Every structure is written in structure tokens, then in C-alpha cells.
Chain A
Amino acid sequence: MNFSPLSRLAAATLAALVLAGSAAAKSIELLNVSYDPTRELYVEYNAAFAAHWKAKTGDDVVVKQSHGGSGKQARSVIDGLRADVVTLALAGDIDAIAKNAGALPADWQTRFPHNSSPYTSTIVFLVRKGNPKAIKDWDDIVKPGVSIITPNPKTSGGARWNYLAAWEYAKRKNGGSDEAAKAFVAKLYKNVPVLDSGARGSTTTFVQRGIGDVFLSWENEAFLAVKEFGADQFEIVVPSLSILAEPPVAVVDKVAKRKGTAEVAKAYLEYLYSDEGQDIAGKNFYRPIDPKAAAKYAGQFTKVELFTIDQAFGGWTKAQKEHFDDGGYFDQIYLKN
């Protein structure tokens, strides 16, 4: 076939445009579905990762964030929210996604170091300046007349950590009696006037609405409140015993594969373990797992005796079933109250 010079020129121009287009930098969008108090952490981390990925591959990455109570967020992913990655408050919520949506394998927690938890945290008490109710430990908050702010364990991961920390404290104090622990936690919830669906909602209730004497808070959330509203407004009280909260992360394979983002989603979570990722975690009052970063930020955290969920409750699956599933201990306590 003979084409005219004009046709050849048009074809060459078109081919050049196609090649130029394919060689151009890609723009990738990820959705990170996370729990309530990680907003500030991921705003800073997303910018750092985008710069890292751009330098490494030349591609632009925009990470969108979605926040809410951890259980509620897991429900949304199960119902179809197209998350590339989830960074939730507890492993049980990601287990639920694996089990109910089949969106990632059951052994997802083995994919990244440290059981896929790149940082840890714990539960502390945030009280009003001067600590007018003289709250020092768990026993003080269940006294009559003390108003406690904590979210709903049915929807909030942080609330489940709060609940389990109180349970274990009471159990140890009463010779390992679950009945005593149950009675203690029942007293605790009698003092709760408002049940928000997530930790950030509870922060609003305590900090902005001025309700309650003590807020059972994620450690990083308590630090943020003090930082934002001033040390003349609030104080952090660290109880004698608390729980080691290990918020995990995972790639949602089903979505990432479909969207073609599996590689960048994996890299996004891996980078949390990098020096920069760990430093950002520390700066945002999470406890880094990397020894170097942990040492750098050790000074800002009060030393506290911590127990793990595996040690005290036999893991999340068991704890979830016994305490938080319908008809579990929480329902027995709260519905009775």
C-alpha cells in the first residue's frame, strides 16, 4: 500500500503522541481507610510517601484518607468501599474484612514485619487541668460521680482497647476473677453518659463540648489534645497498667488488583517501616517499633506496664467473640445498665 506523504506525517505524529503519552508519568490514586485518630499521622505520612515514590519512580501518588470508628470502617470496606489499603485500630477488624468480604487472605498479618503493626500505642487518661477528681488509676474512674468519656466498643477499635485494659486491670487486682472484672467494667460504663461511634467523636465530646471528667484515650490522641488546646486545659494521667495497642495495616488485594494499584499499595505500607515512616509515627505520638526511632521518642512517653491482647485474652478472635459479639459481655453489661 502507498500512503500519501500527508498520511504518513499524520500517522507518525499520532504514533509520537501515543509513545509520549505512554512514557509520561502516571498519576495514581490510593484510598487509605483508617480509624479515627490517625488523621494527622497520615496527612504527614502521605506527603512524605508521595515525595518518596515520585523520586523513586517518577509517578505521582495521591492518597485519599477515610476515617471513622475502626469497626465502622471495616464494615464499610466489607460493604464495598474501595480501599486500596486499610490501617485500622485492631487486627480483628481486618480479620472481619478477610472473612466477610474475602478481600485479602486470612494470613494477611504475616505480610509485613511485627504482625503488620508498624507502630504501637496504648490507652491513657485525659483529665481536665488540675485533675479535679484526683484520678490516678482505674479504680478512681469507677467511683460514683466521675463522668467517663469513651466511645462505643461496637463501632470503635479504641473503645475495645479501653474496655479490655479496664477488664484486665480489674481481673488482675481480683485474683484473676472474670466476674469481678465484669462487675468493674459494668461500674465503669455506668459512669459513661455519651457513647460516640469513634475516638475522634469522643475527643470532641470531652475536649470541645466540655463533657466528662476523664477521657479514656488513645495515647497519641491525648497528646494531640494537649498540644492543640494547651497544657493549661488538660493533663495526661497514665494508669498503672494498660494494654499494648498494635494497630495493623494491610493491602486490600481484591481492590488493589482490580484498580492496578497493588504494587504502590504494598510500597505505601512498607514505607511505614522506613526511617522516615517511623520518625513520622513518633512525631505524631505513636510508639515506633524501630529501636532507633523508639529511642528518639522514648522521652515523650511515660513508662507503663503494658500487656498484650494475646497474653490476656488469647488474641482478637477470642476477645471479640467473648466480649463484643452480639450477646457478649459488653451487651450483657451495657444493656443491663
Chain B
Amino acid sequence: MKSPRSLRAAATAAALSTLALAPFAGRAQTAPAASSDDIAALREQIRLLDQKLRVLERNVELKDEAATAAAAKTPGVNADAKGFSLTSPDKKYSLRIRANIQADGRYYFEDRDAGIDTPDAFVLRRIRPSFEGTVAEKYGYRLMFDLANNQVQLLDAYATYKYSDAFSALFGKTKSPFDLERLVSQTNLLFIERSLPTLLGPNRDTGVQVYGDFLTGRLSYQAAYLDGASDGASLETESGGNDGKDTVVRLFTHPFKNDQDSFLKGLGLGFAYSTGTREVATGAFRAYTSNALVPFFQYGGTVRPDGSHDRVSPQLYFYKGPFGVMASYTESIQELVTTTVVGGVNTITPASKRADLTNRAWAVNVNYVLTGEDAGHNINPKPAQDFNFEAGTWGAWEVAARLSQLAVDEATFAGAGTGTFANRNTQAQRIDSYSLGVNWYLNRNVKASLNFEHSEFQEADASTADFENENAILSRVQLSF
């Protein structure tokens, strides 16, 4: 349809043509020549026509202005692959509703035979609705629950304040800013379960964090003062079961981020450090588990942390096109003490044994997107074409491999009897894991994964155990938005 402006131009041109040709028309035809009155009348008609079209054009313009003004006052409602959201007209207030459902299947061929017979199972690994957004422009919030295992857990609950890109603050409970893979969203994991170094870092913790970017995003920092969480676990209780506190600092750099043509544009290097004291009752340790979630190490029941707890973790990743690699190393040094039950209470006595124990873990994983989409850190490949059986399109396919190891300090098992801090006859000293995986991204919201996990266990010195290798297949169907 022609615009009023072009209509006006066409009508004016036609009328002018008529007017211009009028004096000559008489020569070619027998019709009488146009009088000056006729010309004046034509001119008036042109003027009126021109006015009408100008009015039409102006009214359309005003209608557009009114529509634009009205749109600016209308709250935004959005539903797309990123979730469902509401936004105030001034963009200062927003709410986004997201969710993640992970339905897993686990099949164990062999396990390490320490009296553990891990059942094959279908499980709902994660059922996590979350609510996040902004209030008054600079303040943010997030609430995330987990409904798996028929219970309700509050995982994330925090408020943020953004002063600038270089400085934001977070108050509440979320992931401790330490471990590289722990900070990857549950929906974007390369393998079904995170690797062994995450067992030595803190999980979720409550406290205060500050963070920001410098050097146009090439250097980022996170610093936190937290309640303190044991290795691989979230804080002991919501009310704060650890009298000591943890300080966590993490620096991460993307040195070539802004060099568009650099081969190393996707390189990230970082270092995390945490230090604190831990003074909690016994039972404050989470069992170390294989990549197939089978426990292989647990401290003795009378052992408790009592003193300093430091961790370090150098970390890196590199992504280039469909290829990616991620690696991290974590060392956790913790002061532990044995206790004796006195009057029903675990008590430190003169006979208690005390030691600084150092556990170490590392992991390297590589991935390649077979269908050519870009791989990246903490994002899933975006399928160039969604899966559609009838159309013959198959989404994105990715293969991955991982090597990882966790070694418990040998001193843990030393001493009289079966060991001072752990039972050398039932607990493994080291695990070496090999993982292979295939991920199928049907679209941006649905992902299916299949992993093969092979783990080999090493016994501590003087152990009477002979742990068998563990082989397992893990599968997952994930829906997230």
C-alpha cells in the first residue's frame, strides 16, 4: 500500500500533468480550450486534494506518535526460549520465571565392591523453578528451589545491587565463587555430573559477595565473605553451623577477549583462593563420590574439622568454534581432629590426633560439536536447526571426553588400627575417572545426554581391600527455559 506522502505526490503529479497538458489538448482534439476559470477551478481542486492528503498524512503521523507513546507505557510480556518474563514500561522492574527438569537413568555394570551395591535407577535429578529479575533498576533478586526427591530446598535466595560494571554486591545464598565447573549452570553442564575437583570446593554458601569487570571485560573479580561450607557441600545449616567464616577470592581473565581476530579470543584463565576456619560438629563432611555418584571416600565418624581450611584452584578454558577444553585443579588443606565420645558428646581430648590433610583433584575435559555450532563456556550450543523428524533436521550433536582424578592425603589412613581419620579397608585413597559423553540438543530448551563412566580406585597403603573398577552409564533428558 502506498504511503500518504507518495499518494500525495502521485495525485499532485497527475493533476499538474492534466493542468499542463490542458492548453495543448485543444490543438489535438476538437474540444474547446480551457478557460482561465477552468484552470482556476482545477488549481483549487489540486489545492483541496493536496490539503486532504496532507491531513491524512499528518493524522497517520499523530496516530503513530500516539501508538509509540502508548507502547512506551505498556508493560512488556515476553515468552521465548529464555523463559517467561514481565517488564515494566521503564524497564526498571522485571520478573523472569524459569525452570529446569532433569530426568535421569543410571545403570551400573560393576562397582567397587565395598559392601555397596548401587541400584540401577530412574531418578528426577533436579526439578528447579526459579524466579529472578530487577527492582528499582539497580537491584536484582533470584529465588531458586529444588523439588527433587519429594522435598523442597531453597538453593538460591539473594538480592544484588549493581553500582557499575566494575562493582556489584550480592547478599544472600548462592554458589561460592570458587570452583570453575561449579559456577557452570546446571543446565549447561557438559557431562551429566560435575567432575571430581568440585568435591573439594564449596558449593552454595550464605554471606556477602562483591564482583565486577575491569579492562572492558578482560578481567573479572569476585570476592566473598561467607558462612563457610565443607568440601563439595553447601553450608551446614541455614542458620549458620560454622562458627568460623570463609573468605573467597577469584580472579579470572580473558586476555584476548576483545581481539576479534585472535586465535586465543576464547581463552580464559583464572585462580581462586579460599581461606577460613571451620569449627563444626562431627558429621560435617560430605562423602566423596565418583562421577556416577557412588561414594568412595568418607572420613571416620569421630573426625571433625577444627582449625584452618584453605583451598586453591587454578582454572582455564579455551573455546574455538565447535571445539572446547576446560581444566581445573583444586587443592584443599584442612585441619582435622579425632574426638572421643564423652558423655554422649564427641569431645577433643589429650588423646585426640590432629593433622593438616591435603586432598587434591584435577579434571580435563574436551568437547566438539559435530554439527558445527559454536561451543562455549557456560552456554549450550545453539542448534542451527531444531530437531524436526518430518523436516529431516536433527538439532546439534556434541561429543565429549573427560579425565579426572581425586587423591585423598595418604596421612588420612595412617596410624594404628584401620587408620586415624578414615578406614583404609573400606575407603579408597584415590579415584581415576574416564568419561565419554554424547549430547543431543534438540533445540534451545531440550537436551538429551548419554555418558559412559569408568572409574578405577586405588587402595591406601596397608589396606586389605581390593576395589573393583566401576562402570556405569548415565542418561538424562533435560527440559529448561
Contacts and interface: CB of A to CB of B under 8 A. Distances in A.
A211 B62 contact: no
Nearest to B90: A80
Contact of B57 (A147, A197, A209): A209
Nearest to B52: A193
Interface residues of B, number: 8
Nearest to B55: A193
Interface in A236-258: none
Tell me what chain A mostly uses at the interface: helix, strand, loop, or mixed: loop
Interface string B412-449: 00000000000000000000000000000000000000
Contacts of B82: none
Nearest to B56: A193
A227 B422 CA distance: 94
13 contacts: A147-B51, A193-B55, A194-B55, A194-B59, A195-B62, A196-B62, A197-B62, A197-B66, A205-B58, A209-B54, A209-B57, A211-B54, A212-B51
A209 B57 CA distance: 9
The 3 closest A-B pairs by CB, nearest first: A193-B55, A211-B54, A194-B58
A212 B54 CA distance: 9
Interface of B: 51, 54-55, 57-59, 62, 66
Interface of A: 147, 193-197, 201, 205, 209-212
B432 to A, nearest CB: 55
Nearest to B53: A211
B322 to A, nearest CB: 50
Nearest to B54: A211
A210 B66 CA distance: 21
Contacts of B51: 147, 193, 211-212
A42 to B, nearest CB: 23
A194 B60 CA distance: 10
Nearest to B59: A194
A196 B62 CA distance: 7
B7 to A, nearest CB: 15
B62 A210 contact: no
Contacts of B55: 193-194, 211
Nearest to B47: A132
Given A193-B59, A209-B57, 12 more contacts: A193-B51, A194-B55, A194-B59, A195-B62, A196-B62, A197-B62, A197-B66, A209-B54, A210-B54, A211-B51, A211-B54, A211-B55
A201 B59 CA distance: 12
Contacts of B57: 209
Contacts of A201: 62
A285 B144 CA distance: 62
A147 B48 CA distance: 10
A106 B51 CA distance: 46
